[in-house]
Structure 1
């Protein structure tokens, strides 16, 4: 564990170190084992939905969504739902969870002493949320999860790649790819303009990405201001790119589309790929702790359609929609696949 001060910039001298900071963890330790090479083999061409079952639907909707729909007497429009989600989710990243937990505990005590039971219960719910978020993101690093994602991204046959990130939010995974395969270009795409300043713009500029030195191949620390990153505010359907990207990536995107729209979502990944290019997709894993997370954080997370999947389901969707799955596996909270268009 490094003792680097919060105002210092990480450098190659810090390779192999990790540190828990006020709102997040940084981790420059090398990936221990290839969790994707260790995954059980799956022949997706032989799978059926009868074998793998259907994904789990998360339907405990946010209080804000329910209030909007009650006021307007219609379903919350998807673009608005996405904007509400981005602001709500980013509030977690912007907050020191330990301080927030202490404040919520103090509030719960005050409300209990005044016999305000309902308000005390609400404050105790805040205590639970900040406790879980602190462990999940800041301590356990299950949201960014750089070591496992480096394992997923390992071994791609690319040099100086052009990378397109669909539904990019803060753009974390594209920056991780850019560090691992340096010298190329990253294009982040999201149709919520807030993501440019409120998510990508709020991402800590001193956050270090473990990557490679393009001259020697040796490990090197990268920061986002050393990368060629641009942000495009656009509906994916309106993009006019051709087949020009070496990598098209989405993190937690396709699970937001019901089955009748999944062919469209997978086509987005194919449409912009160069021949032989890679599509990389992840979705939240179905598990008891994941279900519990979306239950506890429902008011902050559940604004639109969402599924929890297993890796067999994600891979079968990809195969049915024209992809060959090259690598598959599970990381802390997500399934991951690396594909090529067939």
Structure 2
């Protein structure tokens, strides 16, 4: 039932849809995966020093066509529903099989001098090849070793973890594996995230964590975890300050500045005194800008910014959090903070 055990430590394998990575089970020497402590004193940093985030403005054709048809800006919830369905298709694609099929179709279009199909086929092939590199080869989307580096050394035991805007819930499952014995509550207002993005997350995916009895490394799987998934707008949650960790991944950058305080207040509202707020956002780097340009038809249905870690940290610091750890991993910025 479970394909990997502790005997498979230091092993990595490419499946048709993702990379299984069991390397560095003891989390030693992870500094090369996260470059922390770029800012020694956040109180001295200003927006004049760091500038504002880069806004991704090339929206998908689906969004533009919807707005033309309805003569209005696509509502935020609708844009997320479009994005979740499009993005999920990549996660469930058998990439080697689909790459082979697209190459054969492109070759056929060339032979038939069907240049419209050639143009479309090249675009599809480039997108899938980029996804293959980013997700399967580099493992930059889930980035288990980088995420473990960000999550290590938290002072928690049997933690309650709240994941805001959870999508498939990857990061909360990684946290739960590292700090087992507690509970995860995932929240997203798109039901598709519960039924498909999380519901169809591979039960064979191995999470490296710890054994609560021995403290030694252990392999965990989704169906071994204590997870509740709520379909709800996070603004309507009735929890109090009862979670040891409040987590969001790729949430802060999806709203312009006037709404960022509300996003940060949602974390503050639910975290225990001296609990942890953990956030990640996509990095503002050349390859990320190119990724969102090439993948626009799949990725760009929503408002989106790319930040550097100083910009992200300044939002967090200015809204009442002290930053415990900050840095960047392969394609994400990461911050661990506590309410000030």
TM category, shorter? over 0.9
Give the drift of 1:113. 1.9
Q: Distance in 1 between matches of 2:207 and 2:21?
A: 8
Give the drift of 1:293. 0.2
Q: Distance in 2 between matches of 1:95 and 1:226?
A: 25
Partner of 2:49: 51
1:307 aligned to 2:268? Answer: no
Match 2:165 to one of 164, 167, 171: 167
Corresponding residue SS for 1:221 = strand
Alignment of 1:325-340 (within 5 A): 325-340=323-338
Q: Is the Cα contact below 8 Å between 2:268 and 2:339 reproduced in 1?
A: yes
Q: Distance in 1 between matches of 2:46 and 2:112?
A: 58
- CA-based RMSD of the aligned residues comes to 1.1
Partner of 1:318: 316
Q: 1:36-94 deviations in whole A, cap 9, x for unaligned?
A: 46543442111111110110000100000001001011000100000110000000000
Q: Is the Cα contact below 8 Å between 1:98 and 1:131 reproduced in 2?
A: no
Q: Distance in 1 between matches of 2:297 and 2:34?
A: 33
Q: 1:228-266 deviations in whole A, cap 9, x for unaligned?
A: 001000000000000000000001011001000000000
Q: Distance in 2 between matches of 1:265 and 1:42?
A: 25
Corresponding residue SS for 1:150 = helix
Q: Distance in 2 between matches of 1:143 and 1:309?
A: 16
Partner of 1:105: 103
Corresponding residue SS for 1:324 = strand
Partner of 2:209: 211
Q: Is the Cα contact below 8 Å between 1:19 and 1:26 reproduced in 2?
A: yes
Partner of 1:27: 21
Give the drift of 1:109. 1.7
Give the drift of 1:130. 1.1
Q: Is the Cα contact below 8 Å between 2:140 and 2:331 reproduced in 1?
A: yes
Alignment of 1:46-195 (within 5 A): 46-195=44-193
Match 1:15 to one of 2, 5, 9: 9
Q: Is the Cα contact below 8 Å between 2:166 and 2:248 reproduced in 1?
A: yes
Q: Structure 1 residues 61, 38: closer, same or farther in 2, change over 3 A?
A: closer
Partner of 2:219: 221
Q: Distance in 2 between matches of 1:39 and 1:122?
A: 45
Corresponding residue SS for 1:126 = helix
Uncovered stretches (5+) of structure 2, i.e. residues with no partner: none
Q: Is the Cα contact below 8 Å between 1:164 and 1:245 reproduced in 2?
A: yes
Higher deviation after alignment, 95-104 or 281-290 = 95-104
Partner of 1:292: 290
Partner of 1:260: 258
Q: Is the Cα contact below 8 Å between 2:277 and 2:337 reproduced in 1?
A: yes
Corresponding residue SS for 2:213 = coil
Q: Distance in 2 between matches of 1:172 and 1:243?
A: 23
Corresponding residue SS for 2:135 = helix
Q: Distance in 1 between matches of 2:68 and 2:320?
A: 40
Q: Distance in 2 between matches of 1:188 and 1:16?
A: 30
Q: Is the Cα contact below 8 Å between 2:35 and 2:329 reproduced in 1?
A: no
Aligned residues: 336
